[in-house]
Structure 1
Amino acid sequence: MSLKSGKIHEGDCIESMQKMNSGSVDLVFADPPFNIGYEYDQYDDRQDDEKYLDWCRSWIGEVHRVLKPNGTFWLAIGDEYAAELKVASQREIGFTTRSWVIWYYTFGVNCKNKFSRSHAHLFQFVKDETQFTFNADDPAIRVPSARALVYGDKRANPAGRLPDDTWILRPQDFQSDAYGFTPEQDTWFFSRVAGTFKERQGFHGCQMPEQLLGRIIRSSSNEGDLVLDPFTGSGTTLAVAKKLGREFLGCELSTDYVKYATERLKKIENGDPLDGPADPVASAPSTKNGTTLESRVKRSAASNRQKSLLGD
């Protein structure tokens, strides 16, 4: 591989990846521009549909080439092109889809003529559907089961369970078991990195939460593996990779983003804790007139059990 690891390489991601050896990367996480008109400093996010999709096919094709045979590719994308890029990644480029995760967040985009947007799509693609890294037993990616969290059942697996297939609401929306979706699902709840958050870097408007990247990197790579981010942006993927003992490599078009993200990486050491709450649901703070989500869940479950005993 001609590109040096442990740094961010400035320039077009396709040109940068073309300099890399085939089959040299263990994990790729990409959060590309969504083509929705976001104001980047050195990229036009208002492309014609076909031009944008052709560009995506090109860089995803390079991702496929540089990945090892057992490598994994995670793609973050919005509603507008999720379906097209899933189909293209599978049928045209050769990936297999292992998971289609919905990232559900607070601080969503308020809309007037449609339901407010509060999610993005996370696709987990692999090159070989029979051989790929997935660390299902890593306790850092497991979550408490409803049996343990809600009912305090001693039969619950103390190691928790993998996130799986259902929905979750925001803490302020969780009022009763009528809407009683639980956290152990393939709809993941992590708050967006809002302007008031301590982990906010301030130089990039689309910063990903470290804990979300932590779940992906822990599950789909091992210590010492090489993690690539073709759209480094604020540097979160590389920051988390470094904290978790992975090798890392980034590509970034913006001179300023390269500068600021590099400064961010210099302040990080292997083993540093990830920013943000590890369990954003259970750790939701209480308010003056409110309670935590966990206490609401337990209170709701107790109320329902009482109703059942009374025949209500």
Structure 2
Amino acid sequence: MPEIRLYNEDCIAAMKKVEDKSISLIVTDPPYNLGNFMKNRDTNLSKMRDNFFGSAGWDDMEFDEWEKSMDDFFKAAAKVMRKGGTMIVFMAIIKVETIIRLAEKHGFYYKTTGIWHKTNPMPRNMNLHFVNSTEAWIYFTYKTRTGTFNNSGALIHDFIETSVTPNGERRYGKHPTQKPESLIQHFVEILSNENEWVFDPFMGSGTTGVVAKRTGRNFIGVELNKDYFEIAKSRIEGKSNETNSN
């Protein structure tokens, strides 16, 4: 069985406990820092879902504070990443340039920016403007220009389409920015191999951990929020119980 390590604390502190040069793949979804931006726009917040990310309290830093936190993250990530390792960072399109600049400071090589298209997005303000149905992801390798890429000779686009997270993946609790397992599994299987270490320093509800365990990868996950940490822990353990019962 894969080895799983979960930490309910700040990711910078947790990464000090991770062995240097041990991580093969980081797949993570850090705060986009759009809370204040959204609140200052005509976005009809009163009609947004109850767990709207802008009301969560972790997405409303001042830009300079957020930029410093991400710089600290990439510095810590460089310590634990093995040479040739890979990182996928989900991010708002308007922040992509900042993320690339910060990552490159610490030895990460920028490969490309791709798009996740949600086939069934919330039709918020559909009669006012284009419905938001995409999020960006940024692909890096560490200290090399190439890394693991398990494409088996197939052409793989930088455009991924899935539905939003189905209700069955939310049965342990809801997270406002939860990604579907099929989306994360796409990256885990292409960019890492069995028995390697996959890391998610902004674990949220634990999707990366569920996928890593299911696909035979070891996993380290960190989540600061206690409630979300418990959801993630339950999800990962629940998947293990389901597997053992089959």
TM-score range, shorter chain: 0.7 to 0.9
> Whole-Å Cα distance in 1 between the matches of residues 26 and 241 of structure 2?
19
Q: Distance between the aligned counterparts of 1:57 and 1:269, measured in 2?
A: 35
1:114-193 correspondence runs (5 A) = 114-137=129-152, 161-164=154-157, 186-193=158-165
Opposite residue 187 of structure 1, the aligned amino acid is F
The equivalent position to 1:33 in structure 2, one of 31, 34, 37, is 31
Tell me which amino acid in the other structure corresponds to 2:174.
F
Residue identity matched to 2:156:
P
* TM-score, normalization by structure 2: 0.82
- State which drifts further: 230-239 or 251-260: 251-260
- Identity between Structure 1 and Structure 2 (%): 29
CA–CA distance in structure 1, aligned partners of residues 74 and 11 of structure 2: 10
Alignment coverage as a number of residue pairs = 221
Shift of 1:85: 0.8
Distance 2:190 2:181 in 1: 14
Cα 1:216–1:198 shift into 2, 3 Å: same
Specify the alignment match of 2:65 in structure 1. Answer: 51
Q: 1:17 aligns with which of 15, 20, 35?
A: 15
Unmatched tracts of structure 2, length 5 or more: 36-52
- 1:99-158: per-residue Cα shift (whole Å, max 9, x none)? 321111133353465432111111110013345211121xxxxxxxxxxxxxxxxxxxxx
What's the offset of the Cα at 1:203?
2.5
Counterpart code for 2:208: T
2:121 paired with 1:108: yes
Per the TM alignment, residue 191 of structure 1 is displaced from its structure 2 partner at its CA by 1.4
Higher helix share: 2
Distance verdict in 2 for CA 1:188–1:266, change over 3 Å: same
Output aligned runs, 1:77-88, within 5 Å: 77-88=91-102
- Residue 256 (structure 1) shift: 1.3
1:300 alignment counterpart: none
1:40–1:15 distance in 2 versus 1, CA, 3 Å: farther
Aligned to 2:113, the other structure's residue is in SS state strand
- Does the 8 A contact of 1:70 with 1:127 survive in 2? yes
Preserved contact between residue 34 and residue 54 of structure 2 (Cα < 8 Å): no
Q: Is the 8 A contact 1:7 1:262 kept in 2?
A: no
Structure 2 contact 23–82 (Cα < 8 Å) conserved:
yes
Q: Find the counterpart in structure 2 of residue 148 from structure 1.
A: none
Q: Which amino acid aligns with 1:198?
A: G
Partner in structure 2 of residue 221 of structure 1: 192
How much has 1:56 moved relative to structure 2?
0.7
TM-score, scaled relative to structure 1 = 0.66
Relative to structure 1, the CA distance from residue 97 to residue 252 in structure 2 (aligned partners, 3 Å threshold; closer, same or farther) is same
Match in the other structure for 1:276: none
Deviation digits for residues 19-52 of structure 1 (CA, Å, limit 9, x no counterpart): 22321111111101111222565x4311111111
Q: Tell me what 1:167 maps to.
A: none
Q: 1:263 to 1:40 in 2, by over 3 A?
A: farther
> Higher relative CO (CA 8 A, sep ≥ 6), structure 1 or 2?
2
Distance 2:217 2:241 in 1: 9
2:218 to 221, 242, 247: 247
Counterpart residue identity of residue 177, structure 2: C
Structure 1 residue 162 displacement after superposition = 2.3
CA distance in 1, matches of 2:54, 2:108: 31
Of 36, 50, 69, the match for 2:83: 69
Structure 1 unpaired stretches of 5+: 138-158, 165-185, 273-312
| CA distances 1:251-301 after superposition (whole Å, capped 9, x unpaired) | 0001111112111111224996xxxxxxxxxxxxxxxxxxxxxxxxxxxxx
Aligned counterparts of 2:120 and 2:31: Cα–Cα separation in 1: 19
Give the structure with higher Rg (CA).
1
Contact 1:243–1:270 (CA<8 Å) still a contact in 2? no
Task: Give the Cα separation in 1 of the matches to 2:241 and 2:143.
Answer: 30
